[in-house]
Structure 1
Amino acid sequence: MAGLLEGVRVLDVSTVIAAPFAAGLMADFGADVIKVEQPNGGDPFRKLGPYYGNEGLRWPAMGRNKRCVTLDLRKEEGKSLFLQLVSQCDVLIENFRTGTLDKWGLDAETIRQANPNIVITRVTGYGQTGPNAHVAGFGTPATAFSGMTFITGYKDRPPVSPSFSLVDYITGLYAVMSTMMALYHRDALHGKGQEIDVSLYEGIFRMMEILVAEYHKNGRIRQRTPKLSGTSSPGGTYQTKDEKWVVLVCSTDRTYEYLTRAMQRPELLTNPLFSTMKARVENDPAIDAIVSEWIASLCYKDLKEIVDREGVPVSLVYDAEDIFNDPHYAARGNIVEMPHPTLGTIKMPGITPVFSETPGEIKWVGPRLGEHNQQVYSELLGLDDAQLQELKSKEII
Structure 2
Amino acid sequence: MRVLEMGQLLAGPFCGQLLGDFGADVIKVEQPDTGDPIREWGQAKADGASLWWPVLGRNKRTVTLNLRDARGQDIARRLIAESDVLVENFRPGTLERWGLSPEALWKINPGLVVTRVSGYGQTGPYAARAGYGSIGEAMGGLRYVTGDPSTPPSRAGISIGDELAAVFACIGTLVALHHRDRTGRGQVVDSAIYEAVLGMMESLIPEWQIAGYVRERTGATLPGVAPSNVYPTRSGAMVLVAANQDSVFRRLAAAMGQPELAADPRFSDHNARGARMEELDGIIADWTRGFETDELLETLHEAGIPAGLIYTAPDMLADPHFAARQAIVSVASRTLGRDIAMQNVFPRLSSTPGRVRHVGRERGEDNHSVYRGLLGLTAEQIAELEADGII
Aligned to 2:251: 258
Cα shift readout 1:305-330 (whole Å, capped 9, x = no counterpart): 11101111111011111111111111
Q: Do 2:12 and 2:166's aligned partners in 1 also have CA atoms closer than 8 Å? A: yes
Counterpart check, 1:307 vs 2:300: yes
- Alignment partner, residue 19 of structure 1: 12
Work out the CA distance in 1 between the residues paired with 2:341 and 2:166.
22
Q: How far off its partner does 1:210 sit?
A: 2.8
DSSP-derived class of the 1:34 partner: strand
Give the equivalent residue in structure 2 for 1:338.
331
Q: How does 1:134-283 map to 2 (within 5 A)?
A: 134-187=128-181, 189-190=182-183, 192-283=185-276
Distance 1:217 1:274 in 2: 28
Report how far residue 191 of structure 1 moved.
5.3
Runs of 4+ in 1 over 6 A off after TM superposition: none
* Deviations 1:314-357 (CA, angstroms, capped at 9, x unpaired): 11011111111111111111221111113122111111122222
User: For 2:354, which of 356, 360, 376 is the aligned residue?
Assistant: 360
Residues 231 and 285 in structure 2, CA contact (< 8 A), matched pair in contact too: yes
**So what's the TM-score if we normalise by structure 2?**
0.96
Q: Deviations over 1:8-45 (max 9, x none)?
A: 00000021112211111111111110101100111111
Partner of 1:87: 81
Q: Deviations over 1:108-139 (max 9, x none)?
A: 11111121110010000111122221111111
Unaligned runs of at least 5 residues, structure 1: 1-7
Give the letter for the 1:139 counterpart.
Answer: G
Asked whether 1:298 is paired with 2:294, we answer no
TM-score, normalization: structure 1? 0.95
| Secondary structure in 2 matching 1:381 | coil
Structure 2, unaligned stretches of length 5 or more? Answer: none
- Are positions 1:105 and 2:102 aligned together? no
2:341 is matched with which residue: 341, 347, 350? 347
Distance 2:356 2:107 in 1: 34
**Is the 1:232–1:250 Cα contact (8 Å) retained in structure 2?**
no
* Alpha-carbon distance between aligned partners in 2 of 1:282 and 1:216, rounded to the nearest angstrom: 23
Q: 2:124 aligns with which of 130, 143, 148?
A: 130
8 Å contact kept, 2:224–2:277: no
Letter paired with 1:138: Y
Quote the sequence identity (%): 41
Displacement of 1:386 after TM fit? 0.2
Deviation of 1:297 after TM superposition, in Å, equals 2.2
Please tell me whether residue 63 in structure 1 is matched to residue 70 in structure 2: no
Aligned to 1:4: none
Q: SS at the partner of 2:384?
A: helix
Shift of 1:251: 4.0
Q: Please, which of 7, 28, 51 is the counterpart of residue 35 of structure 1? A: 28
**Alpha-carbon distance, 1:249 to partner:** 1.5
| Partner Cα distance (2:185, 2:115) in 1 | 14
- How far does the alpha carbon of each residue in 1:154-199 deviate from its partner, in whole angstroms, 9 at most, with x for none? 1111111111112222222111111111111111x32521101101
Shift of 1:231: 4.4
Distance in 1, matches of 2:222 and 2:206, equals 15
Tell me, in whole angstroms, the C-alpha distance in 2 between the residues paired with 1:365 and 1:286.
50
Change (3 A) 1:309 1:179: same
Pairwise mapping of residues 358-397 of structure 1 onto structure 2 (< 5 A)? 358-397=352-391
CA distance in structure 1 between the partners assigned to 2:185 and 2:222 by the alignment = 45
CA distance in 2, matches of 1:37, 1:28: 20
- Contact kept, 8 Å, 1:151 with 1:224, in 2: the verdict is yes
1:119 to 2:113 alignment: yes
Does the CA-based 8 Å contact 1:214-1:220 persist in structure 2?
Answer: yes
Q: Residue 5 of structure 1 corresponds to which residue in structure 2? A: none
